[in-house]
Amino acid sequence: MDAPAARPAAATTDAAQAAARNRLKGIGLMCAALACFACLDALAKWLGSHMDPIQVVWTRYTTALIMVLIIFNPWQNRGVLVTRRPWIQAIRSALLFGSTALNFFALQHLQLDQTVSIMFATPFLVAILSGPFLGEWIGPRRWAAVIVGFIGVLVVTRPWGGAIHWAMLLSMVGACCYAVYNLLTRLLAGQDSAATTSIYSVAFGAIVATALVPMVWVTPDSVWVVAGMIAIGALGAFGHWLLIIAHGYAPAGILAPFIYSQIVWMVTLGWLVFAQVPAANTLAGAGIVIASGLYLLYRERVVGRAA
């Protein structure tokens, strides 16, 4: 007599376990994507010593576009170019291009750990904008975490001491672009396939950069530079493909705090490749931002369990 009542409970448990597994998959994919992006930024900084940043941006997007077109083959699979939300795809692609270009220009003047610490403002911007974009409004405790996280960014940039570098402003605007890009990625996760979004992600940047690159073109002077140009496109394409799939498995609020795993890669690469040791204020600010972001993640889990 109790069996019929047990079935819905078991089904509910199975669904909860499946949702938990999906979130873990999304988190794993997010961390892998961020490892790709850290290597991409290190390569971009290195390539910037051999060519203009615009050419680095062009390399990143055209190589990535070629690769995704080869992988997803729209000539035989014509449906891959069909999108249900063309305007969102276009705006998202433009935001990604803007974030990348601003970051690459900033990398010419800042250390890897500085740019990534400023980009750590992204989860707080995502938390703030999730309300109007996704209807996911945050409460007073998460607002407090957002404010503390912003203080952490101020510790990194130190605007009160007159030491703020103009390139830091580029990173800040790039973080804003990247936050909205992440929100639009979440909106598209249930609308278009990962293949479709991957192609549109790089199409805008490739078109715009191709129009600009003739003005600054420098012929590569070694096979290592050519290899770096190919690798930067591959890392970008693969990383964003992983990011798109991750957002299909888990909500934006769950994934956003894991952007902090990138600081480990950036500090390590900055030290190994460029002999850059993080400044004390950068580490302190990054620590504040990470703590605030982890609290946001904790609140997300608490609210999720309550729901």
- Per-residue tokens: 198: 């991957």
Quick one: pLDDT at residue 213?
92
For 151-182, how does the pLDDT look when each residue is reduced to its tens digit (9 = 90+)?
777 777 665 555 567 788 888 899 889 888 88
Mean pLDDT within 50-73: 87
Q: Give 223's pLDDT tier (boundaries 50, 70, 90).
A: very high
What letter represents residue 61's amino acid? Y
Residue 12 clears pLDDT 80, i.e. is over it = no
What is the domain partition of the chain in residue ranges? 29-306
CA distances to 45, 118, 203 from 109, rounded to whole Å, are 9, 14, 28
Residue 201 clears pLDDT 70, i.e. is over it = yes
Task: Give the CA dihedral 296, 176, 31, 184, nearest 10 degrees.
Answer: 90
Q: Which residues contact 255 (CB under 8 A, 6 or more apart)?
A: 26, 27, 30, 246, 247
Contact assessment for residue 174 and residue 99, using Cβ atoms and an 8 Å cutoff: yes
Rounded distance between C-alpha atoms, residue 153 and residue 118, angstroms: 6
- Per-residue tokens: 87: 């305007």
Q: Give 8's pLDDT tier (boundaries 50, 70, 90).
A: low
What letter represents residue 228's amino acid? G
DSSP structure string for 252-275 = HHHHGGGGGGHHHHHHHHHHHHH-
Q: Give 91's pLDDT tier (boundaries 50, 70, 90).
A: very high
Quick one: pLDDT at residue 300?
60
Among 7-11, 178-182, 219-223, 270-274, whose mean pLDDT is lowest?
7-11
Rounded distance between C-alpha atoms, residue 60 and residue 299, angstroms: 36
Single out the residue of 166, 172, 197 nearest to residue 92, CA to CA.
197
- Per-residue tokens: 85: 């939300």
